[in-house]
C-alpha cells in the first residue's frame, strides 16, 4: 500500500470543552471552599489563597517576606520540625507570593493527610517569624539577588515592571537595602491581618472522598477565628512612568535582553480574548511572526515571544527576548516592522485559521488532569468571572475577524507608545 505523505490527514476542530465545575461550601469561619473531585490517584492538592494587603512603599518586601517565611516557625513548631513533618509524610509544602494573591499549597497523599493538615493549620494561625530565621532569610535573599542582578533578562523584567506600574506590588524592584526595612513586629501584624479565614479561599483538587473533605473542613472551621479587624486589600493607584526608554548598559554582554510593551487590558475587558488572538499571531506560539522572522529567518536569538498579563488592577502586553549583542538594534528594528505590519495589513485567513485552531487545541491541551481544572477556575474566580467566560473565549477565538484584529493592532501595538527596556549593548 502506498500512502500519500504529501497531504495532511483530515482533522477536526471542536465546539466546546468540558470543564469540571467545583462543589462549593462556605465554612462558619467565613472561608470559601471549592472542591474538584476527580482522578484515580489517592492524593490531593490543597491551596489556601489570600488576597494581598495594601502595598506600602516604605515596607516593600513585607508581603514577600511574610509569605516566604510562613514555613519558618510557629508557637509550637520550629522551622526544622515543620520541615521534618512535611517531608516525613512525603508531602510537598509550597508558599508562593503573587501580584494579587499569596498562598500556601500542600500536596499530600490522602493516607497521610491527618498528619500533614495540622502543620498547615499551625502555620496559618500561629506563625511567629523567629528573629534568627529572619536574619537568615535576609542574608540569603540578599546574596541571591546579587546573582539575579547579573542576569540581563531579570534586570530587564524589573525595569519594565517598574516603568509600567511604579510604586506598587506589580512594580516591585527590591535592592539589598530594601531588606533592611523588614522588621519582625511589622511581619507579625501583617500576618495577623492578612492570613485570616474571611480573607481565605481554599481550593481542593484530587480524589476527595467524603471523609477527606470532612477532615479538611473540620480543621479549618470553628476554631479558626477572624480577628476584629478586616484586612485592607485595596491597592494604591498604578502610575506608569513618563520615561518610555531605558537602556542599562553592560559593556561585556554577549547578548542583550530586550523587553518592551505597554499597559493593556485584563481578562475582565471584553476585548481580552481578541487581543489574545492578536498576541498569539505576533509572538504567542512557536510559529508566530516574531519567532518566524527573528529566530527562524534571521537567527538573532534562541527565542522571542510576546505575552499578556492579566492582573486584578491592570494588565500588560509585552515582548521579551535575548539577542546577540551585535544584532540588538537590528532585532528592535524587526520587532517594529512586525508591529507595523499588523496595523497596516490584514492577517491572511490561512494564518488566522491556524492560530484559531492552535488556541483551541492549547485550551484543550491545558486540561491534563484535575489540577488543571482547578487552575482554570482560579483564573475566573479571582477575576470575578464565571464559566461563561470560556464560552465567550471559544466563540471569539473562532470568529474574530481580521479587520477587528487590525483595529486592535492600531490600538495596542504602536511601537512609539511602547515602553522599551534594553539591558546589555545597544
Helix, strand, coil % over all residues of the chain, rounded to 5: 45, 20, 35
For residue 4, the minimal CB distance to other proteins (Å) is 9
What is the C-alpha separation between 20 and 372, in angstroms, rounded?
10
By beta-carbon proximity to other proteins, the closer residue of 91 and 405 is 91
Map the footprint of other proteins across residues 21-40, applying CB under 8 A: 38-40
CA distance linking residue 104 with residue 50, whole number of Å: 9
Judged by CB under 8 A, the chain residues 104 through 133 that form the site for other proteins are 107-109, 112, 133
Three-state DSSP state, 309: strand
Please identify which residue in 15, 18, 388, 416 interacts with other proteins, judged by CB under 8 A.
18
The contact mask relative to other proteins for 276-295 (x = CB under 8 A, - = no) is ---------xxx-------x
Asked if 6 interacts with other proteins (CB under 8 A), we say: yes
Please report how close the Cβ of residue 423 comes to other proteins at its closest, in angstroms: 11
Strand order in the sheet with 255-264: 245-249, 419-424, 255-264, 314-324, 301-311
DSSP 150-196: T-HHHHHHHHHHHHHH-SSSTT----GGGGGG--HHHHHHHHHHHSS
- Residue 107, classed as helix, strand or coil, is strand
SS3 of 248, please?
strand
52/152 with CB nearer other proteins: 152
Nearer to other proteins among residue 132 and residue 337 (C-beta): 132
Total of residues contacting other proteins (CB under 8 A)? 81
Judged by CB under 8 A, does residue 177 bind other proteins?
no
User: Pairing mode, if any, of strands 314-324 and 301-311?
Assistant: antiparallel
Measured in Å, how far apart are the chain's first and last C-alpha atoms?
58
* Stretch touching other proteins by CB under 8 A, among 120-128, 332-340, 359-367, 384-392: 359-367
* Chain residues 240-259 in contact with other proteins, contact rule CB under 8 A: 252-255
Please report how close the Cβ of residue 152 comes to other proteins at its closest, in angstroms: 7
Task: Candidates 66, 86, 203, 265: give the one binding other proteins (CB under 8 A).
Answer: 86
- Interface pick for other proteins out of 358, 382, 393, 412 (rule CB under 8 A): 358
- Strand 314-324 and strand 255-264: the pairing is antiparallel
**Residue 426 within binding range of other proteins, rule CB under 8 A:** no
Which CB, 14 or 247, lies closer to other proteins? 14
Of 39 and 236, which has the nearer Cβ to other proteins? 39
Strands of the sheet with 101-109, listed across from one edge = 23-26, 32-37, 200-206, 43-51, 101-109, 92-97
Strand pairing category for 32-37 and 200-206: parallel
Give 292 or 380: the residue with its C-beta nearer to other proteins. 292
Q: How far is the CB of 14 from other proteins (least distance, A)?
A: 7
The 360-399 site mask, x for binding other proteins (CB under 8 A), equals xxx-xx-xxxxx----------------------------
Q: Which is nearer to other proteins, 80 or 225 (CB)?
A: 80
Taking a C-beta distance cutoff of 8 angstroms, is the pair 78, 150 a contact? no
Distance of closest approach, residue 18 Cβ to other proteins, in angstroms:
8
Site track 44-83 with other proteins (rule: CB under 8 A), x = hit:
---------------------------x-------xx-xx
**Residue 49, beta-bridge partner list:** 103, 201
HSE value, Cβ hemisphere, 13 Å, CA-based, for 239: 7
Amino acid at each position: 500500500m502506498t500512502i500519500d505523505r504529501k497531504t495532511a490527514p483530515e482533522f477536526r476542530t471542536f465546539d466546546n470543552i468540558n470543564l469540571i465545575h467545583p462543589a462549593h461550601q462556605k465554612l462558619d469561619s467565613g472561608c470559601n471552599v471549592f472542591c474538584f473531585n476527580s482522578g484515580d490517584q489517592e492524593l490531593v492538592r490543597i491551596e489556601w489563597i489570600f488576597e494581598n494587603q495594601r502595598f506600602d512603599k516604605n515596607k516593600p518586601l513585607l508581603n514577600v517576606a511574610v509569605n516566604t517565611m510562613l514555613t519558618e516557625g510557629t508557637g509550637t513548631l520550629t522551622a526544622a520540625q515543620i520541615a521534618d513533618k512535611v517531608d516525613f509524610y512525603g508531602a510537598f509544602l509550597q508558599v508562593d507570593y503573587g501580584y494579587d494573591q499569596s498562598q500556601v499549597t500542600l500536596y499530600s497523599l490522602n493516607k497521610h493527610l491527618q498528619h500533614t493538615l495540622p502543620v498547615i493549620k499551625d502555620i496559618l494561625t500561629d506563625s511567629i517569624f523567629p528573629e534568627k530565621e529572619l536574619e537568615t532569610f535576609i542574608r540569603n535573599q540578599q546574596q541571591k539577588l546579587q546573582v539575579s542582578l547579573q542576569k540581563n533578562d531579570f534586570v530587564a523584567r524589573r525595569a519594565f515592571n517598574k516603568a509600567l506600574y511604579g510604586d506598587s506590588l506589580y512594580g516591585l524592584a527590591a535592592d539589598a537595602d530594601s531588606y533592611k526595612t523588614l522588621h519582625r513586629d511589622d511581619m507579625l501584624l501583617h500576618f495577623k491581618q492578612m492570613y485570616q479565614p474571611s480573607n481565605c479561599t481554599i481550593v481542593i483538587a484530587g480524589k476527595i472522598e467524603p471523609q477527606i473533605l470532612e477532615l479538611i473542613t473540620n480543621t479549618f472551621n470553628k476554631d479558626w477565628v477572624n480577628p476584629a479587624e478586616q484586612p485592607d486589600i485595596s491597592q494604591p493607584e498604578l502610575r506608569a512612568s513618563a520615561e518610555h526608554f531605558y537602556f542599562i548598559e553592560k559593556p561585556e554582554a554577549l547578548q542583550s535582553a530586550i523587553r518592551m510593551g505597554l499597559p493593556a487590558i485584563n481578562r475582565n475587558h471584553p476585548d481580552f480574548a481578541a487581543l489574545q488572538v492578536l498576541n498569539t499571531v505576533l509572538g504567542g506560539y512557536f510559529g508566530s511572526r516574531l519567532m518566524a522572522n527573528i529566530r527562524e529567518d534571521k537567527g538573532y536569538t534562541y527565542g522571542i515571544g510576546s505575552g499578556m498579563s492579566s492582573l486584578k488592577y491592570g494588565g500588560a502586553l509585552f515582548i521579551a527576548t535575548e539577542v546577540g549583542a551585535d544584532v540588538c538594534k537590528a532585532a528592535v528594528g524587526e520587532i517594529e516592522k512586525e508591529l507595523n505590519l499588523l496595523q497596516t495589513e490584514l492577517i491572511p485567513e490561512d494564518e488566522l485559521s491556524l492560530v484559531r485552531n492552535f488556541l483551541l487545541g492549547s485550551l484543550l491541551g491545558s486540561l491534563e488532569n484535575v489540577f488543571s481544572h482547578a487552575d482554570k477556575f482560579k483564573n475566573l474566580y479571582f477575576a470575578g468571572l464565571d464559566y461563561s467566560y470560556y464560552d465567550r473565549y471559544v466563540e471569539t477565538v473562532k470568529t474574530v475577524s481580521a479587520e477587528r484584529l487590525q483595529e486592535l493592532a492600531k490600538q495596542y501595538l504602536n511601537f512609539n507608545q511602547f515602553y522599551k527596556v534594553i539591558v546589555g549593548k545597544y
